[in-house]
Structure 1
């Protein structure tokens, strides 16, 4: 994994109290991580958070709709939070934060980052695809 998108994840951490950010695939592979989290820890968290997302999605029926589309999971600990959101087809963005973080600001920054990541991860069509067939 190269960490070409890591610099973009650092932007989500501009909210006071935000700690780390990772971009992961649905199968738990790390795609990018912010500067402050070691690669090994980011890999471990990517695997765990993919499982969490799967469990969250499977519980849609508990919310009243069997066909509910998963959007976000929030985990609250005694002194911290983990936010997990969809970041495109088969990709998720996770941010960890301390207990005093402005949760609305983190969610807003994450959604803005998801918009930017979508543009970065999508390849534009080639204009000169070669000679006609």
Structure 2
């Protein structure tokens, strides 16, 4: 498990990611990232350098997808999106926010036969749990810094 050195909110992200990766052998890897592209946690076997690159690109993808969707749908600029799914000839990549105001996402990559509906359901369940966990952490104060 890759852990963030800059965001120690989740000491062991396996409680979030393992239920997702255990759904199917077609799930290649999963990660938790911040909206600014920082890795918060990733599954075993995903090299830190790879996870950092994926996280940075995912943050950019999310921002671009939200801007494009809001423009196309004539939605206000700040309107959030719930899920991004990208498919190509190698599989599927899904991104989902973890709570409404956490600025944290869960991303999952899987093969062509990954059961997308099941994985999306488990992702949503885990994203909700993660969002609740993140929102329950007390805010830092100047005295604590």
Deviating 4+ runs (over 6 angstroms) = none
Tell me how far apart the structure 1 counterparts of residues 23 and 71 of structure 2 sit (CA, whole Å). 32
Task: Name the count of aligned residue pairs.
Answer: 125
Listed as ranges, the matches of 1:73-88 within 5 Å are: 73-88=84-99
Which of 119, 125, 129 pairs up with 2:132? 119
Say whether residues 1:24 and 2:33 are aligned partners.
yes
Structure 1's 79 and 119: CA in aligned 2 closer, same or farther, altered over 3 A?
same
How big is the shift at 1:11?
1.6
How big is the shift at 1:65?
3.0
The alignment yields a C-alpha RMSD, in angstroms, of 1.8
Tell me how far apart the structure 2 counterparts of residues 47 and 30 of structure 1 sit (CA, whole Å). 8
Unaligned runs of 5+ residues in structure 1 are: 126-133
How big is the shift at 1:123?
3.0
Tell me how far apart the structure 1 counterparts of residues 75 and 49 of structure 2 sit (CA, whole Å). 36
Unaligned runs of 5+ residues in structure 2 are: 139-145
Tell me how far apart the structure 2 counterparts of residues 85 and 6 of structure 1 sit (CA, whole Å). 16
Q: Structure 1 length normalisation: TM-score? A: 0.84
